[in-house]
Amino acid sequence: MPSFEQIKKLIIADEANKEFTAKGWQPLYSVHKKAKILIVGQAPGIKAQESGIFWNDPSGDRLREWLGMNRETFYHSRQLAILPMDFYFPGKGKSGDLPPRKDIADAYHPMLLANMPEIELTILIGAYAQSHYLGLGKSIKITELVKDYKIYLPDYFPLVHPSPRNNIWLKKNPWFEEEVIPDLQGQVKRILK
C-alpha cells in the first residue's frame, strides 16, 4: 500500500493534473493516519486553491458551525481528514464552479482511505460526494437524502452544501438546523471526545 507521501507524488505526476501542476498548484486535501472523521466535499474553489487553505470562506464558517467545531480543531486536529472529489479547482462554468472531474476520486480515494483505518464517520457534502459514496444515481433528491440521513448512519452523514447560495433552501427546510445539525454535532462530539 503506498504511503500518503507516495500517493501525493502520484497525484501531482498524474497526466490528468498536468495543467494544475504547471500552475504550481498543490493538490488540496488533508489526511491523517489517526483520522476518525472524514469530510468529503466537491472540489476546492479558486480562493482555496490559490491560498492552499480549504473551506476558508463563508461556506467553511458555516460548516464549522454545523460541526460544532472551531477553526483550530478543523485545521489542526489529526482526527479530521478532508478529501474533495477533485483535488484541484476545476474551473469556472456558466453558473459557478465546474463540477469535480470524473475518475479523480475513483483513482485516489481508495488508496488514501486505506491509510486511514480508524475513520468512524464520513460526512458527505453535496450531490457529487453523496452519489459517489452512497452509490446513488444522478437523480439524487438532496432534500430527501438529507432528511433520511439516519438511514446512512453510522458510516455516512449526508449534508447539503453550506454555501450562502443555499440560504433559501435552509429557510424552506427549518427541520435541517433544528433536527439534523444537533444530531451531527452530537456524532462529531462523541467521536472526537
pLDDT mean for each 10 residues of the chain (193 residues): 96 97 96 98 92 92 97 95 97 88 96 98 96 85 95 97 94 98 98 93
Provide the whole-model pTM.
0.95
Q: What is the pLDDT of residue 162?
A: 96
Go through 119-135 and write b for each residue having 16 or more CB atoms within 10 A of its CB, e for each that does not.
Answer: bebbbbbbbbbbbbbbe
Of residues 191, 156, 190, 161, the one with CA closest to residue 176: 161
Q: What is the DSSP letter of 86?
A: S
CA distance to 45, 54, 154, 159, per residue, from 149 (Å): 26, 25, 10, 8
Q: How far apart are CA 124 and CA 38, in angstroms?
A: 9
pLDDT digits (tens, 9 = 90+) for 75-129: 999 999 999 999 999 999 887 889 999 899 999 999 999 999 999 999 999 999 9
